[in-house]
Amino acid sequence: MDYDSWLKPFLPQLQQRRKRFLNRLGQINSGWGSLKEYASAHLQFGLHFRNDEWHFSEWAPNAKELYLVGEFSDWKPKQGFRLTRGEGGIWSIKLHRDILKHGDHYKLWMVWEGGAAMRIPAYAQRTVQDPETLLFSAQVWYPNPFQWDDHGFSVPDAPALIYEAHTGMAQDAERVGSYIEFAENILPRIKEAGYNTLQLMAVQEHPYYGSFGYHVSNFFAPSGRFGTPEDLKFLVNKAHQMGIAVIMDLVHSHSVKNEEEGLSRFDGTNDLYFHYGSRGEHPAWDSRCFDYGKDEVQRFLLSNCRYWIEEFHFDGFRFDGVTSMLYFHHGLEKDFTSYDDYFDGQQDEDAMLYLALANELIHTLHPKALSLAEEMSGMPGITLPGADEGLGFDYRLSMGVPDFWIKLIKEKSDEEWNVGQIFHELTQHRPEEKIVSYVESHDQALVGDKTIIFRLADKEMYDFMSIDRPNLIIDRAIALHKMLRLITIATAYGGYLNFMGNEFGHPEWIDFPREGNNWSYQYARRQWSLYDNNNL
């Protein structure tokens, strides 16, 4: 309790949390030898080529029959591709090496009592979308091994200066960008701007582009709309060559509801990977909530962490939606006004145990890895190790800072800005807790909201950004835009974050293609030409 005397009344709960973590870690080590070996489900399940033949396994305890279907079977369930059921509802099949070939599309035909449907394997490592039907399928993907040459790279021993970026909307053109284009065109800009860490969004496959990557369907598959897995490896490899660490926006807080693409009703049941009943439905996100207390779910998610670190050389993760994971009420419409709110029985102890195990695994695999929590409740112990009653994160995102800046700009005139209040808001955190501060992230740039530069400059930015058309409103906007960032980074205790383009005052908002905007990409891009224009 040396770091926070307010926690003394809750010592029994904290000790129980620590005991539970150590007991679970002991169980895993006893049964599997190590946490790393426990997190190896991706090596067991899914499609693999071993001993000169194809091996495929899937966990589907409610299934009565299971078939691999694809171009090799005319997309029909055939006896030669029927899986055999084993212990614990694990189905498997072995196929001759010549039956499947690199690039083949495939799915599962899942049969259960009273129904049957197509499913994409839970551990699929490559998915693609048909441009005509828009349906997704898994793809046999066994190219020549990628040649890494980043072995001399180490995560910088410096405060994390994080550049938050989205591959698809990183291009100036009105279309979806690629991993290769990002590596060749955007990484040099990030390096030149002085950032040492790239936070890459929307990596895991997601059916709806406009979800910003947060409604994940295939947790082990890099999004195919941006390129191949090797293209993503090329991006990470090049970033490392430039001295830039790469962390991934990891979504383990929920999963998309889609059934044919995702895990929902995977084997005909609602609660295979998720909670049963209303607990399995997120009330605000229209998505499914994982049952973190289930052994198979723990293995699935922990293996996912290991997979991205080992296979793609990611240097850590930003865990999305941590507050939603921590509480049964998901933090919705809840004001956290006292420490009682952190220990009132509304905490999901299974989720907390999972996060502590995940961070233990991440730092075992990659001792210099960065682990960030998107957490807004102020839960104590977020950045303490699991063995010290914590969750093991390196940083908490300081989500109140952008809210403070926006409130100040909206409600106060310049002369009413209180320097003491500003300093207090930017530096209030527990002394043992490192935070990542920021003026604005992707959240503040979405349609329906406004970027800081747009709040400051408003409509004048359309006519008076040219250097030969001086304007006091624009001059003030640019000065404050710079000042806010200077103050925020100067008072940051741990790290600083910026969403791509906001550093130079990218105009307007983000609006992904959708029916309401006639599927336009006009606002789903970054206009680098504005930054490069010397007359602006």
Burial class (CB in 10 A: 0-12, 13-18, 19+), 95: middle
- CA dist 75 and 122 (Å) reads 19
CB 8 within 8 A of CB 380: no
What is the chain's mean pLDDT, rounded?
96
Contacts of residue 287, defined as CB under 8 A and 6 or more positions apart, other chains included, come to 215, 254, 255, 256, 257, 281
- CA dist 502 and 244 (Å) reads 19
- 137-182, pLDDT tens digit by residue? 999 999 999 999 999 999 999 999 999 999 999 999 999 999 999 9
- 464-487, pLDDT tens digit by residue? 999 999 999 999 999 999 999 999
CB 127 within 8 A of CB 137: yes
Q: Which residues pair with 85 in a beta bridge?
A: 91
CB 452 within 8 A of CB 405: yes
- CA dist 345 and 324 (Å) reads 15
Q: Which amino acid appears at position 530 of this protein? A: L
For residue 531, what are its two tokens? 């930054």
Phi-psi region of 326 (alpha: psi -120 to 50; beta: other; left: phi over 0): alpha
- DSSP secondary structure code for residue 347 in this structure: B
Residue 109 inside a domain? The answer is no
- 284-327, pLDDT tens digit by residue? 999 999 999 999 999 999 999 999 999 999 999 999 999 999 99
Residue 144 inside a domain? The answer is no
Burial class (CB in 10 A: 0-12, 13-18, 19+), 341: middle
- 215-272, pLDDT tens digit by residue? 999 999 999 999 999 999 999 999 999 999 999 999 999 999 999 999 999 999 999 9
- 237-247, pLDDT tens digit by residue? 999 999 999 99
Cα–Cα separations (whole angstroms), residue 126 to 123, 137, 223, 229, 234 = 9, 9, 8, 7, 16
Q: Which residues pair with 222 in a beta bridge?
A: 204
- DSSP secondary structure code for residue 145 in this structure: P
Residue 58 inside a domain? The answer is no
- CA dist 416 and 21 (Å) reads 49
* pLDDT at position 310: 98
* pLDDT at position 4: 84
Contacts of residue 140, defined as CB under 8 A and 6 or more positions apart, other chains included, come to 47, 100, 101, 102, 103, 104, 105, 106, 126
pLDDT exceeds cutoff 80 at 448: no
For residue 46, what are its two tokens? 């899914």
Q: Rounded to a whole number, what is the distance in angstroms from the first to the last CA of the chain? A: 54
Active site residues: 320, 374
Q: How confident is the model at residue 2 (pLDDT cuts 50, 70, 90)?
A: low
Q: In 33-82, which ranges are continuous DSSP H helix? A: 35-38, 41-44
CB atoms within 10 A of CB 85: 16
Q: Which residues pair with 372 in a beta bridge?
A: 318, 395
Residue 358 inside a domain? The answer is no
CB 355 within 8 A of CB 299: no
CB atoms within 10 A of CB 193: 13
Query: Domain containing 33: what range?
Result: 5-38
- CA dist 375 and 400 (Å) reads 10
Question: What crossing angle do the helices spanning 229-241 and 295-312 adopt, rounded to 10°?
Answer: 60
Residue 408 inside a domain? The answer is yes
Using DSSP's 3-state secondary structure scheme, residue 464 falls into coil
Mean pLDDT of 347-358: 98
Percent of the chain whose predicted confidence (pLDDT) is above 90? 94
Q: Which amino acid appears at position 410 of this protein? A: K
pLDDT exceeds cutoff 70 at 1: no
CB 223 within 8 A of CB 258: no
pLDDT exceeds cutoff 90 at 445: no
- Closest CA relative to residue 195, chosen from 517, 499, 472, 506: 499
Using DSSP's 3-state secondary structure scheme, residue 174 falls into coil
Least confident range of 1-5, 182-186, 355-359, 454-458: 1-5
- Closest CA relative to residue 198, chosen from 251, 155, 228, 229: 155
CB 66 within 8 A of CB 60: yes
Dihedral through CA 445, CA 172, CA 231, CA 119, nearest 10? 60
Q: Which amino acid appears at position 39 of this protein? A: A
Instruction: Report how far Cα 26 is from the mean position of its chain's Cα atoms.
Output: 28
Residue 464 inside a domain? The answer is yes
DSSP string, 498-534: EETTGGGT--S-B----GGGTT--TTSS--HHHHH-T
pLDDT exceeds cutoff 60 at 214: yes
Residue 130 inside a domain? The answer is no
| pTM for the predicted model, two decimal places | 0.96
pLDDT exceeds cutoff 80 at 3: no
Residue 451 inside a domain? The answer is yes
Domain count along the chain: 2
Burial class (CB in 10 A: 0-12, 13-18, 19+), 79: exposed
